[in-house]
Amino acid sequence: MEIYKITPRGLENCRFDDMSREKGNRYWLLLTPEEMVNANGFFNFNSRTIDECLSNNQVPRLEVYESFSFGVINIINKEKDFILASELNFYLTSNYLIFVTKDSSSDMIKAVKDEIDGNSIDLERILYIFLDRLTASDNEILKDIEEDISDIEELVIKGENRDYIMDIVSLRKQLLFLKRYYEPLLDIAEGLEENENGLINEKSVRYFTILKDRIERLNRNVLNLRDYITQVREAYQAQVDINLNKIMKLFTVITAIFLPLSLIAGWYGMNFKYMPELSWVMGYPFAFLLSGIVIAICLIYFKKHDFI
Amino acid sequence: MEIYKITPRGLENCRFDDMSREKGNRYWLLLTPEEMVNANGFFNFNSRTIDECLSNNQVPRLEVYESFSFGVINIINKEKDFILASELNFYLTSNYLIFVTKDSSSDMIKAVKDEIDGNSIDLERILYIFLDRLTASDNEILKDIEEDISDIEELVIKGENRDYIMDIVSLRKQLLFLKRYYEPLLDIAEGLEENENGLINEKSVRYFTILKDRIERLNRNVLNLRDYITQVREAYQAQVDINLNKIMKLFTVITAIFLPLSLIAGWYGMNFKYMPELSWVMGYPFAFLLSGIVIAICLIYFKKHDFI
Amino acid sequence: MEIYKITPRGLENCRFDDMSREKGNRYWLLLTPEEMVNANGFFNFNSRTIDECLSNNQVPRLEVYESFSFGVINIINKEKDFILASELNFYLTSNYLIFVTKDSSSDMIKAVKDEIDGNSIDLERILYIFLDRLTASDNEILKDIEEDISDIEELVIKGENRDYIMDIVSLRKQLLFLKRYYEPLLDIAEGLEENENGLINEKSVRYFTILKDRIERLNRNVLNLRDYITQVREAYQAQVDINLNKIMKLFTVITAIFLPLSLIAGWYGMNFKYMPELSWVMGYPFAFLLSGIVIAICLIYFKKHDFI
Amino acid sequence: MEIYKITPRGLENCRFDDMSREKGNRYWLLLTPEEMVNANGFFNFNSRTIDECLSNNQVPRLEVYESFSFGVINIINKEKDFILASELNFYLTSNYLIFVTKDSSSDMIKAVKDEIDGNSIDLERILYIFLDRLTASDNEILKDIEEDISDIEELVIKGENRDYIMDIVSLRKQLLFLKRYYEPLLDIAEGLEENENGLINEKSVRYFTILKDRIERLNRNVLNLRDYITQVREAYQAQVDINLNKIMKLFTVITAIFLPLSLIAGWYGMNFKYMPELSWVMGYPFAFLLSGIVIAICLIYFKKHDFI
Amino acid sequence: MEIYKITPRGLENCRFDDMSREKGNRYWLLLTPEEMVNANGFFNFNSRTIDECLSNNQVPRLEVYESFSFGVINIINKEKDFILASELNFYLTSNYLIFVTKDSSSDMIKAVKDEIDGNSIDLERILYIFLDRLTASDNEILKDIEEDISDIEELVIKGENRDYIMDIVSLRKQLLFLKRYYEPLLDIAEGLEENENGLINEKSVRYFTILKDRIERLNRNVLNLRDYITQVREAYQAQVDINLNKIMKLFTVITAIFLPLSLIAGWYGMNFKYMPELSWVMGYPFAFLLSGIVIAICLIYFKKHDFI
Ligand SMILES: [Mg+2]
Ligand SMILES: [Mg+2]
Ligand SMILES: [Mg+2]
Ligand SMILES: [Mg+2]
Ligand SMILES: [Mg+2]
Ligand SMILES: [Mg+2]
Ligand SMILES: [Mg+2]
Ligand SMILES: [Mg+2]
Ligand SMILES: [Mg+2]
Ligand SMILES: [Mg+2]
Ligand SMILES: [Mg+2]
Ligand SMILES: [Mg+2]
Ligand SMILES: [Mg+2]
Ligand SMILES: [Mg+2]
Ligand SMILES: [Mg+2]
Ligand SMILES: [Mg+2]
Ligand SMILES: [Mg+2]
Ligand SMILES: [Mg+2]
Ligand SMILES: [Mg+2]
Ligand SMILES: [Mg+2]
Ligand SMILES: [Mg+2]
Ligand SMILES: [Mg+2]
Ligand SMILES: [Mg+2]
Ligand SMILES: [Mg+2]
Ligand SMILES: [Mg+2]
Ligand SMILES: [Mg+2]
Ligand SMILES: [Mg+2]
Ligand SMILES: [Mg+2]
Ligand SMILES: [Mg+2]
Ligand SMILES: [Mg+2]
Ligand SMILES: [Mg+2]
């Protein structure tokens, strides 16, 4: 349990008892789910949201009640295959901003404290800084994905004969993951911007507008990258189809040359008593000639029809 | 027929006659369609909605009339292949909330009663609790579907050579079913949130907003899972195409090796009187050599062109 | 020409002359296009809409003028392949509702009269009843289409080897037809709900809202059925692709077994003087053995690679 | 240069000098781009729009300035493959409607004059009549396209073995052309309906609403026809795939019958000294029998597996 | 560092010190990022935007603060494969328009100065002229792309047997690039049109509306060209599929003719002692006749089934 009183000189450590006595000041609290349950005797939030603080795997969202807003946020480890790092719930009232999380000493929280430093700050600005940090490095992640797609595209165009499906599937999955990550974040930013219960002051709303616009840009970027990888996938699949045609053309040429030759050979392998060609002196050269003619006709025909 | 009077201490059993005498109180009624027909002498709803209470297979929706709202809701058994469990119609007026259903002792209704318990509660809150229960466990259902898709995806990527179309078709059908289930529910939640006939008090509207947001999140999740399964389907189909190419390459290699060899064999099976090779001492080894050269050329060519 | 005066006891037959003399009453008129032309000396609608009453094949729509609304509606025979049954134009002014149609004794009109019976009724309610009848049985039609799609899906999944394209094409065409039928109807219902020239009284607007919602649900259902049939089509096409692979695998197995065997046979059919195998006592059994080995290798290889 | 004064008796020819002296009247002007440049000394429009009057190939649009609206419209020859017939720019101010075009004697302009005839008319009504004429016959054009698509569909379903890609490509291109033609027209109609600079009187706005609705219906029709042709294309492509399967089945049957027969023939063509079958009296009939068994097995197998 | 004072006679050069003393005038500043850092002692913008001026590779956007607007714009070299030419940041306050860029002597800036020339001008008009220049020649670029697509389409329809995938991929990539370029520009123009901090006067807002409409038209054009190239790609892929069918038909015909002939030849190459045909005088002509019949049957069959 960490409690910070908001003072003109920045954050100031404070005990729960002091906080509960002094009315009128504003506080930022970092609680574990269990501490939240205990503290609720003082705050009196509805039991439903308290239950969600205790459970995991909740869907990220913002619920705007008359006197407070309640939020669920998933923190993602974007380096390690986008696995869920931790979940954070928050309450925002007119005087308290409560973060309910199991690891209050995470990098995210530390970075927020660093940015506040010794400045006087609104409660909603702390929330803004935290939400802003969540997507701070996402432009780089999207740029990495774009380069990966671009690499595959180049190989596909060059006709490098490899199986790209696995790479494409993996990139598409990452993009879908990000889309599903941004959509609820966008809802949360919009909900804070709309400010239906009036907890955020007019001036700060502007910051949530900028936050919302940024997440929208990120999401739009994801959608455009999906378009991009769709193009690459379709180009690859077209190459596969074109390759099949090339294979079948090669195959047809081979067959069309050897079947007639084999027929000639088989023909003069027949055992009829009365086959005049067999006893001709020029019979064997005649078979050669016949074979040559067949080959020539095939080559001319297939050349003309672009098979070879 | 069950009639509950709303009191500061929770629900209180009550008879129809008492209810029709005392004006000013609020009541929750659980009626069968037939009881609704009889009770309409007292309530005077339009005959069209009464007809719908009697018939089954109505489309879920909300109709907002001047002095009351009428709703149709389908209750789905999500464990058993999403079959229709039962239909419920409701009327909401300023003093009455009427549920018209054939099994008023269903799990859903019991759960609503449990949640109300001994609390004082608004009529619209009862309706909210009921609607909220309808989708209470849907996040788990969607998570199950997501895992199923993910399993198929893994097998497809590993190149496991099975027919996944049946599984994909079945999952897509489930998602389409859910989409078609959420769309009218969303309309109903929106209609209650809009509150055009003013039957719901300002404070309670907030609950229907939260309900609507939740159904929207569920529906969005369904759409994203559709995207996901589309990706898997396309990856699978790409694998099928790539496999065809592989089969045809193998086939071409087999043919390209054996047709020339067969030609050689056939050629020296010809019965011409004057075929010098036949009487050479090294004729047979020469045929072997020729065959070896053909095989070598084929192998080099196909190796170079990535066929083998 | 049929003219009905709206009275507190329902519709009352009336002659044109009486109507033109008594001001202040409200009338429902059923006119043929030619009668409309004559009657326009009294009504004075713009010539453009009158022209449209005379011509056929107009696009369904609503045009909202300052003192009247003009509508074009196509009546479709949904049993007989969705052919156009008849066209109806209507004028709505503050005192007159005019239906211009060639067969004023159609089932639709009769049904409207039946529903009015002896009740007092607004002019706009007559229009509402008529429009409502237009899509009254469409839920059944859509349910039929859904069952047809479901039947095809089952057969596709079972792998029944038939050509479903014709059925799929026909169902898709029906759905597109319905989409194109609902879109203008939706515009008409919306136009009446918006009520820009104020001809419809506040209370009746609610009915057009319910009508619009219903058409929207029908159209949404059509879109979802399109999704459904798209899924079936894609599943079918995937089956076609998978079948091709199976055919080619079978084909490859056949070829891979018989080509080497044929080579062996051809090889020992060569006529070289000096071929030691030919004179071996065990030559022929040796050929049998060789063939058996080839078959065994092929079967093992193809078994391992899932060809058989 | 043609200048028409709007009088209660219709249009009245007038000279530029007279117009520039008499204030308070309203005029419709038909100018060439060069005449517009000269006349701008009087009108004083911004140089940018004047430049556009002089140049060709401008994008159709409406620009709404404080005291005037400026529009660019492309007139299309829909009979001759949709080539650009001519460009028209217009200025609308409170007293002047100026059409800047190279051929002021075109059919379009004549038709507008005919419709005005001797009637008193607003300036914006002249503009409306002109814009209305632009798409007057488009329903017929779309009906023609629909019939073309329907013809192709019927042939595809019948399985007529022709190459429809060229026809489909051409129809899709026409529809894309129309979509690109309607989109800016829709913007122009919407801009005039919004009437942000108030140049159009309240009553006339209604006409631009009807115009906008009509263009929207046309565009929606185009989108639906695109859906239709997409369905036909997909059906055709499915037929191509199904045909390939049929070809390959036929091919497999041929191969599966003849390869074993050829093996039998080749087998008894071997030259081993010790091949007992060769000297059997029933050897040759035995080969016949063997061949017959092979054929029978193949036919039964392929019949069972739906190949023939 | 260039500073221009806005005077009734156009721009007037000015020093930083003079500017910082005289209040009430309006100025246009061209600063390098480093100069901006220094000058911020005077302007006092928030450190976050100053940081972005220093860094590159920022996402284009507009941020609207209470007393100023901050923008990031990418300038693209559209001749050279759309590479990033330079980045420009701008601040707009009520009295200052600051362009922060490394090359203030670029063509773009010069063109802006030329257009201003000696005219009195608003600060926001300078910004408008600059933004307007950004897309000034884009209609030509899009026309070029359209012609490229049209060329490929013609070749595809003619059946020219080339690999168009590379060209199609490249054009699609260009269009996606342009879409991603226009989307943030559109946001910027919309943000300036919305004018939430009131820095732009009512009259000038109209110019940003026209700008926004123009970018929207460009983006819509891009989307339509994407539709166009999708059509061409699908037509090409259909051709590839149709070609495969043709190849396989040719292949089937070849096989179906030669396999039976080879069987006949092989059959009479058998070495049975008792084969009556071999000793017939007409044996060899009989084989010829048999072969002729096989060929005739094949040709008739394949002609009938449209294979040849
Ligand atoms: Mg969404
Ligand atoms: Mg976007
Ligand atoms: Mg996008
Ligand atoms: Mg995509
Ligand atoms: Mg795309
Ligand atoms: Mg594809
Ligand atoms: Mg979504
Ligand atoms: Mg989604
Ligand atoms: Mg999908
Ligand atoms: Mg996708
Ligand atoms: Mg919907
Ligand atoms: Mg829908
Ligand atoms: Mg739908
Ligand atoms: Mg579809
Ligand atoms: Mg869909
Ligand atoms: Mg789908
Ligand atoms: Mg597909
Ligand atoms: Mg539509
Ligand atoms: Mg549409
Ligand atoms: Mg459509
Ligand atoms: Mg389409
Ligand atoms: Mg479609
Ligand atoms: Mg397709
Ligand atoms: Mg974008
Ligand atoms: Mg467009
Ligand atoms: Mg568009
Ligand atoms: Mg558009
Ligand atoms: Mg598009
Ligand atoms: Mg298309
Ligand atoms: Mg595309
Ligand atoms: Mg496609």
Cβ neighbours of C8 (radius 10 Å):
8
Residue B120 in domain: yes
The first and second tokens of residue D242, run together, are 């199904």
Residue at a domain's end among B119, B134, B149:
B134
- Arithmetic mean of pLDDT, E40-47: 91
C-alpha–C-alpha distance, residues B254 and B249, integer Å: 9
Distance from CA of A88 to the nearest CA of E (A): 26
Contact E39, E15 (CB under 8 A): no
C-alpha–C-alpha distance, residues D304 and E11, integer Å: 90
Q: What confidence score (pLDDT) does residue A229 get?
A: 94
Instruction: Name every chain E residue with its beta carbon within 8 A of the beta carbon of A228.
Output: 173, 176
Residue B118 in domain: yes
Q: Which of B232, B271, B274 sits opposite A281 (nearest CB)?
A: B274
The first and second tokens of residue A221, run together, are 């970027």
Q: Which of C245, C256, C269 sits opposite B269 (nearest CB)?
A: C269
Interface contact D203-C66, CB threshold 8 A: yes
Residue A23 in domain: yes
Contact A1, A16 (CB under 8 A): yes
Q: What confidence score (pLDDT) does residue A113 get?
A: 87
Contact C81, C91 (CB under 8 A): no
Does A287 reach chain E within 8 Å, measured CB to CB?
Answer: no
Contact A83, A75 (CB under 8 A): no
C-alpha–C-alpha distance, residues B11 and B22, integer Å: 16
Residue C207 in domain: no
Instruction: Name every chain B residue with its beta carbon within 8 A of the beta carbon of C193.
Output: none
Place of tokens 């509805």: A46
Distances A86 to A31, A71, A102 between C-alpha atoms, Å: 14, 14, 8
For A128, residues 6+ apart whose C-beta sits below 8 A from its C-beta are A204, A207, A208, A211
- Which DSSP category does A58 fall into? P
Burial B43-65 (b: 16+ CB within 10 A, else e): eebeeebbebbeeeeeebbbbbb
CATH number, position E287: 1.20.58.340
Report the range of poorest mean pLDDT among C99-108, C298-307, D220-229, E237-246. Answer: C99-108
- pLDDT digit of tens for each residue in chain A (308 aa)? 899 999 888 888 999 988 988 888 899 999 999 999 999 989 999 888 998 898 877 889 999 998 999 999 988 877 777 777 788 999 999 999 999 998 777 788 888 888 887 777 889 999 999 999 888 888 889 999 999 999 999 998 887 777 888 899 999 999 999 999 999 999 999 999 999 888 998 888 989 999 999 999 999 999 999 999 999 999 999 988 988 999 999 989 999 999 999 999 999 999 888 888 888 888 899 999 999 999 999 999 999 988 87
Identify the H or E element spanning B5. strand B2-7
Q: What confidence score (pLDDT) does residue B137 get?
A: 84
Interface contact A165-B239, CB threshold 8 A: yes
C-alpha–C-alpha distance, residues A11 and A26, integer Å: 10
The first and second tokens of residue C278, run together, are 């030919």
Q: Which of E172, E180, E247 sits opposite A245 (nearest CB)?
A: E247
- pLDDT digit of tens for each residue in chain C (308 aa)? 899 999 888 888 899 988 988 888 899 999 999 999 999 989 999 888 998 898 877 889 999 998 899 999 988 877 777 777 788 999 999 999 999 998 777 788 888 888 887 777 889 999 999 999 888 888 889 999 999 999 999 998 887 777 888 899 999 999 999 999 999 999 999 999 999 888 998 888 988 999 999 999 999 999 999 999 999 999 999 988 988 999 999 989 999 999 999 999 999 999 888 888 888 888 899 999 999 999 999 999 999 988 87
Q: Which of A161, A248, A278 sits opposite B248 (nearest CB)?
A: A248
DSSP secondary structure letters along A95-155: SEEEEEES-TTSHHHHHHHHHHTT----HHHHHHHHHHHHTTTHHHHHHHHHHHHHHHHHH
DSSP secondary structure letters along C97-114: EEEEES-TTSHHHHHHHH
pLDDT for B106 beyond 90: no
For E56, residues 6+ apart whose C-beta sits below 8 A from its C-beta are E87
Burial class (CB in 10 A: 0-12, 13-18, 19+), C10: middle
Q: What confidence score (pLDDT) does residue A39 get?
A: 92
C-alpha–C-alpha distance, residues C108 and C124, integer Å: 16
3-class secondary structure, E104 = coil
CA A38 to chain centre: 39
CATH number, position C117: 3.30.460.20
Instruction: Name every chain C residue with its beta carbon within 8 A of the beta carbon of D133.
Output: none
Q: Helix-strand-coil percent breakdown of chain A, rounded to 5?
A: 60, 15, 25
What separation, in Å, do the N-terminal and C-terminal C-alpha atoms of chain E show?
Answer: 77
Q: Which domain holds residue A263?
A: 243-304
- Arithmetic mean of pLDDT, D66-92: 85
Task: Assess whether C3 and C129 both reside in one domain.
Answer: yes
Residue E10 in domain: yes
Q: What confidence score (pLDDT) does residue D213 get?
A: 94
Strand partners, C29: C3, C98
State phi, psi for D250 to the nearest 5 degrees.
Answer: -55, -45
Interface confidence (ipTM) of the complex: 0.86
Does E202 reach chain D within 8 Å, measured CB to CB?
Answer: no
Residue at a domain's end among B92, B112, B134:
B134
Task: Please give the tally of structural domains in chain C.
Answer: 2
Closest CA to B232 of B165, B143, B176: B165
Chain B from 103 to 162: CB within 8 A of any C CB: 161
Chain B from 221 to 250: CB within 8 A of any C CB: 233, 236-237, 240-241, 243-244, 247-248, 250
Residue at a domain's end among A106, A134, A162:
A134
Residue E175 in domain: no
Q: Helix-strand-coil percent breakdown of chain E, rounded to 5?
A: 60, 15, 25
Candidates A259, A267, A279: best to mutate against E (most CBs of E within 10 A) is A267
Task: Assess whether E1 and E124 both reside in one domain.
Answer: yes
Residue B265 in domain: yes
Strand partners, B4: B13, B28
pTM: 0.87
Task: Assess whether C126 and C3 both reside in one domain.
Answer: yes
The CA E284 to ligand 5 mean position distance, Å, reads 64
C-alpha–C-alpha distance, residues D208 and D188, integer Å: 10
Does C263 reach chain B within 8 Å, measured CB to CB?
Answer: yes
Q: What confidence score (pLDDT) does residue C202 get?
A: 84
The first and second tokens of residue C77, run together, are 């025979």
C-alpha–C-alpha distance, residues A169 and B235, integer Å: 7
DSSP secondary structure letters along E178-195: HHHHHHHHHHHHHHHHH-
C-alpha–C-alpha distance, residues B158 and B235, integer Å: 11
Closest CA to D191 of C195, E192, E212, E138: E212
Q: What confidence score (pLDDT) does residue C120 get?
A: 77
State phi, psi for A109 to the nearest 5 degrees.
Answer: -65, -45
Q: What confidence score (pLDDT) does residue A137 get?
A: 84
What separation, in Å, do the N-terminal and C-terminal C-alpha atoms of chain A show?
Answer: 77
The first and second tokens of residue A236, run together, are 């690859």
Residue A139 in domain: no
Strand partners, C84: C76
Region for residue E10 given its phi and psi (left: phi exceeds 0; alpha: psi -120 to 50; beta: otherwise)? left
Q: Could you tell me which chain C residue has the CA closest to the CA of B229?
A: C231
β-pair type (D10-13, D27-31):
unpaired
